[in-house]
């Protein structure tokens, strides 16, 4: 089992969801986050004073998948979120030690889908 | 007695209340961080409660009561004794005395509320209360008497302040600067504004200020007449000119205009036209708006950052500086053709009036600064003005009021 963490542009969420559903990945947790990349955020101006390093709005998806779904998930997120310019986001994949379905008590791979 | 005048001044009084709550409360409330927004709303709201009572108990009598040597009103009208339905011809011959009194109450309320902008996000609530009560009693009431009270010494010299450029804005703005210097910077402040938590609140507040200001300025004619109409027109015109000018300066200086800039410019325009609105013509109001935007922008965006004092929400930069510009502009642009009861300014050949305006300005700055210093020292010794650093970091909403503005989790 793997946990796929994707940081994407907020306006790409719908496209990413469509791509994920197309490869039968229907489970995700979505949160609003702020962050910065190589460009170091945006510059904001308040009453004439420039403030560099304002963080950008992003959306984070947490997607738990079984091994067979890892590559399709990565491909789906990439297809949905890609524009080719800086700020498109990142995908992190980490090992997932356990997964429990609270309603039934099922554990492991069977509990993910 | 004139029912039209009475109806207008009563309405204008309600409009001026709207300037403090919710106008100023949301203007300032949007500019602070989310952990302090309730403290601003609380301070604005409770000032309305405290000063309303102070005013009817003794404040009105100190400011407008029977004169004592030009420096203060006596307590003869304390508890509104003798202040009833009969007009007082010294102030307004065509409306009940009590209508004049309650209209003036709204000015006494908003003035200490303006100072909140300087000490926002870092004062103890009890200290704020004591400071406000002392400041209203020992700064606002005497100053209102000098400039507006029958027999007041600056009024006797011929000083012009139609709606409170001196009494309201210079006094609160200078006191704001003194407090900002005495209190020191907010934790983490580093020569740059701290990001406002809700600019839509600020814009809503600025719009309500503009709306309420028609009561403030046109109401100060104390009649529903041509002078009120002139004040209304000059107020709107100067405000529009200042808001647009501020946007253009930002566009040139920073590359983009901002809504915070337009709102700030508009408030600066309102401040500057306040002393002048009943003495100048609408075309000169445009000049006043343009000049105040240039001067206040420089004060807020250039000078403040260089000097490094933390006037959190620019109470000094907008009200102190804007009020100063307006008071001097009154000495330049005032003309008897607009208001026969006023005077001609420098541009109409009257150097004397210009001198009187400058004298009034210097006196007010000195008086407000010295008194604020003394009151601060008293309150600081008695209660301690500033919250502990840890409480400041947690925020005033939780530490001073035990409540939070926004829930994150249901």
pLDDT in tens, B129-140: 999 999 999 999
- CATH topology for A2-38+55-112? Alpha-Beta Plaits (3.30.70)
CA B291, CA B288: separation in Å to the nearest integer? 5
Confidence class of residue A45 from pLDDT cuts 50, 70 and 90? confident
Task: Check B300 against A45: CB less than 8 A apart.
Answer: no
Among B195, B297, B301, beta carbon nearest to A51? B195
Cβ neighbours of B195 in A, within 8 Å: 44, 46, 51, 54
**CB B322, CB B265: distance < 8 Å:** no
CA B202, CA B221: separation in Å to the nearest integer? 29
Coil, strand, or helix at residue B80? helix
Cβ neighbours of A44 in B, within 8 Å: 195
Q: How many angstroms separate the CA of residue B148 from the nearest CA in chain A?
A: 34
Among B196, B254, B264, beta carbon nearest to A50? B254
pTM of the model: 0.91
Question: What ipTM did this prediction achieve?
Answer: 0.72
Task: Check A48 against B260: CB less than 8 A apart.
Answer: no
Q: How many angstroms separate the CA of residue A6 from the nearest CA in chain B?
A: 23
pLDDT at position B203 over 70:
yes
Interface test mutation site (partner B, options A41, A46, A55, max chain B beta carbons within 10 A) = A46
Task: Check B195 against A44: CB less than 8 A apart.
Answer: yes
Share of chain B above pLDDT 70, in %: 100
What are B124-172's pLDDT values in tens digits? 999 999 999 999 999 999 999 999 999 999 999 999 999 999 999 999 9
Task: Check A48 against B192: CB less than 8 A apart.
Answer: no
- For residue B39, give both structure tokens: 């403290």
Domain B3-401 has CATH 2.60.40.10: no
**Tokens 């209209």, residue?**
B103
Of A50-59, B93-102, B161-170, B364-373, which range is least confident? A50-59
In this structure, what are the phi and psi dihedrals at residue B311, rounded to the nearest 5 degrees?
-85, 90
Cβ neighbours of B300 in A, within 8 Å: 47-48
Map out the domains of chain B as residue ranges: 3-401
Task: Check B192 against A51: CB less than 8 A apart.
Answer: yes
Question: Number of Cβ pairs closer than 8 Å across A and B?
Answer: 35
- For residue B6, give both structure tokens: 């009475």
Radius of gyration of chain A measured on its C-alpha atoms:
17
**CB B354, CB B345: distance < 8 Å:** yes
DSSP state of A40: -
**Tokens 């791979």, residue?**
A109
pLDDT at res. B189: 86
pLDDT at position B306 over 90:
no
């Amino acid at each position: 089992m793997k946990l796929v963490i994707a940081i994407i542009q907020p306006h790409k969420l719908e496209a990413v969801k469509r791509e994920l559903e197309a490869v039968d990945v229907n489970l995700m947790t979505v949160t609003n986050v702020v962050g910065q990349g190589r460009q170091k955020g945006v510059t904001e101006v308040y009453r004439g004073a420039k403030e560099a390093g304002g963080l950008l709005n992003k959306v984070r998806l947490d997607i738990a998948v079984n091994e067979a779904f890892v590559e399709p998930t990565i491909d789906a997120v990439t297809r949905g979120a890609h524009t080719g310019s800086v700020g498109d986001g990142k995908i992190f994949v980490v090992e997932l030690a356990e997964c429990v379905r609270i309603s039934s008590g099922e554990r492991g791979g069977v509990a993910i889908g | 007695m004139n029912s039209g005048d009475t109806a207008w001044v009563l309405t204008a009084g309600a409009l001026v209340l709207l300037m403090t709550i919710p106008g100023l409360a949301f203007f300032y409330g949007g500019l602070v961080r989310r952990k302090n927004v309730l403290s601003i709303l609380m301070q604005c709201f409770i000032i309305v409660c405290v000063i309303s009572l102070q005013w009817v108990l003794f404040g009105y009598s100190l400011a407008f009561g029977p004169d004592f040597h030009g420096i203060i009103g006596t307590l003869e009208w304390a508890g509104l004794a003798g202040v009833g339905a009969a007009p007082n011809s010294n102030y307004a011959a065509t409306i009940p005395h009590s209508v004049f009194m309650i209209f003036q109450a709204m000015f006494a309320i908003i003035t200490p509320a303006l100072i909140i902008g300087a000490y926002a996000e870092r004062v103890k609530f009890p200290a704020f209360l004591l400071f406000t009560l002392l400041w209203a009693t020992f700064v606002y009431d005497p100053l209102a008497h000098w400039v507006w009270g029958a027999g007041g010494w600056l009024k006797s010299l011929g000083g012009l302040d139609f709606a409170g450029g001196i009494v309201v804005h210079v006094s609160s703005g200078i006191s704001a600067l003194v407090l900002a210097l005495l209190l020191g910077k907010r934790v983490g402040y580093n020569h740059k504004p701290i990001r406002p938590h809700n600019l839509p609140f600020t814009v809503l507040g600025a719009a309500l200020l503009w709306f309420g200001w028609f009561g403030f300025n046109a109401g100060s004619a104390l009649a529903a007449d041509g002078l009120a109409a002139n004040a209304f027109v000059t107020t709107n015109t100067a405000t529009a000119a200042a808001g647009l000018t501020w946007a253009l300066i930002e566009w040139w200086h920073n590359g983009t205009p901002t809504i915070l800039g337009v709102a700030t410019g508009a408030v600066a325009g309102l401040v500057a036209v306040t002393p002048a609105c009943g003495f100048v013509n609408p075309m000169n109001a445009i000049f006043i708006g343009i000049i105040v935007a240039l001067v206040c922008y420089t004060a807020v965006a250039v000078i403040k950052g260089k000097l490094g004092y933390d006037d959190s929400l620019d109470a000094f930069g907008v009200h102190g500086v804007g009020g100063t510009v307006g008071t001097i502009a009154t000495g330049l642009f005032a003309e008897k053709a607009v208001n026969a009861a006023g005077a001609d300014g420098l541009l109409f050949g009257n150097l004397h009036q210009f001198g009187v305006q400058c004298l009034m300005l210097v006196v007010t700055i000195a008086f407000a600064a010295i008194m604020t210093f003394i009151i601060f020292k008293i309150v600081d010794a008695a209660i301690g003005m500033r919250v502990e650093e840890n409480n400041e970091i947690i925020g005033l909403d939780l530490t001073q009021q035990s409540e939070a503005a926004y829930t994150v989790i249901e």
